[in-house]
Amino acid sequence: MAYQIKFIAIEIVAKSFKEAPTSLKPGEPINISFNYLVDLNVIPERSLTMVVTNVDIFISPENTDVGNIKTLCVFEVGDFNNVFDIQSGKPTSIPLDLEVLLKSTGLSTTRGLIHSEVKGTYLQGAILPLVDIGTLVVEQRAKAGTNFQAKTKTD
């Protein structure tokens, strides 16, 4: 199905970056890892969806927490009432392809915001890797035993 989606807002909800740990030597390459959570919320009364992405940034091998960014992407979905099955004010299902599309877009947007925020710092190489959100969503739905699972988390 082709969806009519309009990007309404992109916001950095929260961010914090710590100074470089004293164990880092200038010019020495660092191993950066990420932990992220991507959450999809449907707001029927406004015909909107929101993707909230929370990313923690770590330096390995010590697994030192060096930063966090939380973003919000708001989307307007055309023909909202035909796309989502809403009962008692809550969605009972979200089309799989739409969930994957919105979460992927939210995570990709966050990737760009991280790049912009850490440019020129010791974290400049902190580029969030590409993620196959589709596989993660399918796995989450299978674990939940439902056709509807709005959260995707990886470690």
Instruction: Tell me which fold the domain 5-154 belongs to.
Output: Bacterial Protein-export protein SecB (3.10.420)
Q: Give residue for tokens 């760009």.
A: 112
Number of C-alpha atoms within 13 angstroms, CB side, residue 12?
A: 14
pLDDT at 152 over 50: no
Scan for tokens 């914090």, then name that residue.
16
At residue 45, φ and ψ (nearest 5 deg) are -65, -15
Going by pLDDT thresholds of 50, 70 and 90, the confidence category of residue 146 is: low
Report the phi/psi class of residue 120: left, alpha or beta, with left for phi > 0 and alpha for psi in -120 to 50.
left
Backbone phi and psi for residue 79, each to the nearest 5 degrees, phi listed first: 55, 40
The arithmetic mean of pLDDT across residues 93-104, rounded, is 93
Most confident of 1-10, 109-118, 120-129: 109-118
134 or 86: which carries more pLDDT confidence?
A: 134
Tokens of 104: 């992927």
Contact between 30 and 121 (Cβ < 8 Å): no
Residue 103 has pLDDT above 90, yes or no: yes
Distance CA 154, CA 36 (A): 6
Task: For residues 104-132, give the mean pLDDT.
Answer: 94
Amino acid making up residue 114: I
Residue ranges covered by each domain of the chain: 5-154
- C-alpha closest to that of 107 among 136, 81, 142: 136
* pLDDT of the residue at 148: 54
Q: What is the Cα Rg of the chain in Å?
A: 17
115 phi-psi bin (left φ>0, alpha ψ -120 to 50, beta other): alpha
